[in-house]
């Protein structure tokens, strides 16, 4: 059953590891069984809510929000620190040995899990908080 959830993840675009289509993803999943599993302390694959952007997430925290509503929804993002990139590099290398950790970031959000997870992109908004034209649909 769907509910309002709070999650914290490290996220990297699928393109950063060479996966650009849904077919690429399914081929990857077939060749690497057991690598992806949407649980805490595991890698997962998600579809962003702006268009068809795809991500790999490393789930740090996942919990239902008791009595939560969409009024609680929010998200924030920040670049990963150097220490975080170093610590989590071996995990993201399970996806691809050539992973570019400079494209990874930290996301924290509350969302309704019956929908796609928030995009949480660092480069989506200008200094005034307006959505940049390239992200508008």
pLDDT per residue, tens digit, the chain (137 aa), is: 678 888 888 888 888 877 777 788 788 878 877 777 666 566 766 655 445 677 888 888 888 888 766 666 777 888 888 999 999 998 888 888 888 888 888 888 887 777 777 777 666 655 555 656 655 54
Instruction: Give bridge partners of residue 96 from the DSSP assignment.
Output: none
Q: Which long-range contacts (CB under 8 A, 24 or more apart) does 31-39 make?
A: 32/94, 35/94, 35/95
Sign, Cα dihedral of 49, 53, 56, 57: negative
Q: Where are the domains of the chain?
A: 4-135
Contact indicator for 98, 107 with CB cutoff of 8 Å: no
Neighbours of 75 (CB within 10 A): 15
- CA separation for the pair 41, 49 (Å, rounded): 23
Q: What is the pLDDT of residue 84?
A: 92
Q: What is the pTM of this model?
A: 0.73
Q: What is the pLDDT of residue 83?
A: 93
Q: Which residues contact 9 (CB under 8 A, 6 or more apart)?
A: 57, 58, 59, 60, 106, 107
From 127, 132, 131, 76, select the one nearest 106 (Cα to Cα).
76
List phi, psi (to 5°) of 54: -120, 150
Q: What is the pLDDT of residue 49?
A: 46
Neighbours of 91 (CB within 10 A): 15
Q: What is the pLDDT of residue 65?
A: 84
**CA atoms within 13 Å, Cβ hemisphere of 28:** 19
């Amino acid at each position: 059953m769907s509910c309002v959830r709070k999650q914290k993840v490290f996220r990297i675009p699928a393109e950063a590891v060479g996966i650009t289509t849904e077919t690429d993803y399914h081929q990857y999943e077939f060749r690497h069984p057991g690598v992806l599993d949407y649980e805490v302390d595991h890698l997962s694959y998600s579809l962003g809510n702006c268009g068809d952007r795809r991500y790999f997430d490393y789930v740090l925290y996942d919990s239902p929000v008791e009595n939560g509503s969409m009024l609680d929804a929010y998200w924030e993002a920040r670049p990963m620190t150097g220490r975080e990139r170093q610590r989590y590099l071996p995990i993201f290398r399970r996806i691809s040995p050539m992973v570019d950790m400079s494209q990874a970031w930290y996301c924290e959000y509350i969302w309704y899990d019956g929908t796609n997870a928030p995009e949480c992109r660092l480069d989506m908004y200008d200094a005034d908080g307006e959505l940049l034209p390239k992200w508008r649909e």
